[in-house]
Amino acid sequence: KLHPVILSGGSGTRLWPLSREQYPKQLLALIGDETMLQQTALRLAGFSGRLPVSEQPLVVCNEEYRFITAEQMRAAGCPTNHILLEPVGRNTAPALTLAALTVRRDSDDGVLLVMPADHVIRDREAFHRAVDLGIEAALAGAMVTFGIVPERAETGYGYIRVGDEASPGIHAVSSFVEKPDAETAAEYVASGAYLWNSGLFMVKAGVWLKALAHFNPEMLAACESALESAGRDADFVRVGREAFQACPSDSIDYAVMEKLAATPELGIVPQVVPMSVGWSDVGAWDALWTLADKDDDGNSGRGDVMFEGTTGSLVHATSRMVVCLGVEGLVIVETPDAVMVARKDQTQDVKKIVARLKSDS
Ligand code: GDD
Ligand code: MG
């Protein structure tokens, strides 16, 4: 079976003031009526590929968000009794490991499709085709990534150097570099030899656990013991606090992906399915403006919003009316306790404000 694994543990501070510690990005409806978590849960609806999709997606999130997460899954028509609750965040590698250990109870060969809960994919059919290709590679024992043609020298992404074609639509990964510095990222983009890592992965449960046993046995042991000491209540699996707190923190990318390409003797080949699916990780407000439906003047409004003589702007109002008169290229986000007015090309700097707010409090 194909087991969707939804990673829903991040906070997405670059969409402040809408995303907050109490209300992270994946739980918000930023585009369309569904939240990003719900869109992720629905992403495989209608999939008819070489494996049937499990009716019980695994969602891994912080225990603080258990009720809203369960409620959003139910409301989207994707209820699940596999919500794994982390007492603390330990980044994505332990989150995936908890899911892999859960799936392995039934079968080593269960294929995991790891999906970040806070991404947008516009072309669902093209995505299904990419997933179907990925299944072939994963069943053969590969660690599969999905690559996106890079648009800029983004330093927040992983870069995949594309190797030879292994089978139609599937390539070897000759190296994987997570979050390079700006100069290196620019070189990679200019070379045309690299793809962005989309952050989706596909791998058999047993293959992931074998890779982790090799690269970070301590993490594997901590996750095993966290599940052994887990408690079940309703649809939730509360992993053991003490064991999980002791787990080393690392991402899938650093803990395993970067190392795999350099360790052929392990026998787990990293591969990449290049895909063109309208992918975005909605990293900041300007990305949201790019994705949003806009009127003839390039404006996008959510909530009680009026535009007059305004162009290229995004307004998100949650509790009051917002009127824009004769302005250009602004992002305005209104919430009950904070209002942000920014030039669209400076919205990346929101993280500086969030950092300042944190250090002040
Ligand atoms: N359950 C759980 N627990 N989920 C987590 C945790 C955690 O501790 N930390 C992060 N996540 C979730 C986030 O909510 C997000 O959906 C996903 O895992 C990826 O984490 P990010 O923190 O957003 O990673 P990133 O954006 O820095 O980098 C990853 O994504 C890029 C593409 O957007 C990497 O895979 C990069 O290589 C990739 O290019
Ligand atoms: Mg991210």
- Tens digit of each residue's pLDDT (9 = 90 or more) over 211-267: 999 999 999 999 999 999 999 988 999 999 999 999 999 999 999 999 998 999 999
The closest ligand to the CA of 25 turns out to be 1
Atom of ligand 1 nearest to the CA of 199: 35
**How far is residue 309's CA from residue 327's CA, in Å, rounded to a whole number?**
7
The closest ligand to the CA of 114 turns out to be 1
- Helices then strands, each counted (H, E), the chain: 12, 19
Q: How far does Cα 248 stand from its chain's mean position?
A: 20
Share of the chain above pLDDT 70, in %: 100
- Residue 290 pLDDT exceeds 80: yes
Name the helix (H) or strand (E) containing 93.
helix 92-104
**How far is residue 113's CA from residue 4's CA, in Å, rounded to a whole number?**
5
* Residue 40 CB less than 6 A away from ligand 1: no
Q: According to the model, what pLDDT value does residue 22 have?
A: 77
Residue 57 pLDDT class (50, 70, 90 cuts) = very high
Q: Is the dihedral of CA 100, 102, 104, 106 positive or negative?
A: negative
Q: Do residues 63 and 11 touch, judged by C-beta distance below 8 A?
A: no
- Residue 11 pLDDT exceeds 90: no
pLDDT one-digit tens code per residue, 188-200: 999 999 999 999 9
Q: Within 10 Å of residue 246's Cβ, how many Cβ atoms? A: 14
Q: Are strands 83-86 and 58-62 parallel, antiparallel or unpaired?
A: parallel
For ligand 1, the distance from its centroid to the CA atom of residue 116, given in whole angstroms, is: 6
* Residue 201 CB less than 6 A away from ligand 1: no
Tokens 């949003």: give the residue: 292
Q: According to the model, what pLDDT value does residue 19 have?
A: 86
Residue 16 pLDDT class (50, 70, 90 cuts) = very high
Q: According to the model, what pLDDT value does residue 1 have?
A: 95
Strand partners, 325: 308
* Residue 87 CB less than 6 A away from ligand 1: no
The protein residue with its alpha carbon nearest to ligand 1, atom 24, reads: 199
User: How confident is the model over 290-298, as a mean pLDDT?
Assistant: 96
The protein residue with its alpha carbon nearest to ligand 1, atom 30, reads: 199
Q: Which residue would you say has higher pLDDT here, 117 or 358?
A: 117
Strand partners, 194: 161
Q: Which residue would you say has higher pLDDT here, 295 or 360?
A: 295
User: How confident is the model over 167-193, as a mean pLDDT?
Assistant: 97
* Residue 99 CB less than 6 A away from ligand 1: no
Half-sphere exposure of 32 (CA within 13 A, CB side): 12
User: How confident is the model over 145-164, as a mean pLDDT?
Assistant: 97
Atom of ligand 1 nearest to the CA of 26: 14
- Residue 273 pLDDT exceeds 90: yes
The closest ligand to the CA of 91 turns out to be 1
Q: Which of 10-24, 215-229, 267-281, 334-348 has the lowest mean pLDDT?
A: 10-24
For ligand 2, the distance from its centroid to the CA atom of residue 19, given in whole angstroms, is: 14
Tokens encoding 241: 């606090």
3-state SS, one letter per residue, for 217-266: HHHHHHHHHHHHCCEEECCEEECCHHHHHCCCCCCHHHHHHHHHCCCHHH
- Residue 23 pLDDT exceeds 90: no
- Residue 294 pLDDT exceeds 80: yes
Left if phi > 0, otherwise alpha if psi is -120 to 50, otherwise beta: which for 169? Answer: left
User: How confident is the model over 276-287, as a mean pLDDT?
Assistant: 95
For ligand 1, the distance from its centroid to the CA atom of residue 115, given in whole angstroms, is: 9
Tokens 């150097």: give the residue: 161
For ligand 1, the distance from its centroid to the CA atom of residue 308, given in whole angstroms, is: 39
Phi, psi of 115 (to 5 degrees): -125, 125
Q: According to the model, what pLDDT value does residue 361 have?
A: 73
**How far is residue 323's CA from residue 45's CA, in Å, rounded to a whole number?**
38
- Residue 12 pLDDT exceeds 80: no
pLDDT one-digit tens code per residue, 82-114: 999 999 999 999 999 999 999 999 999 999 999
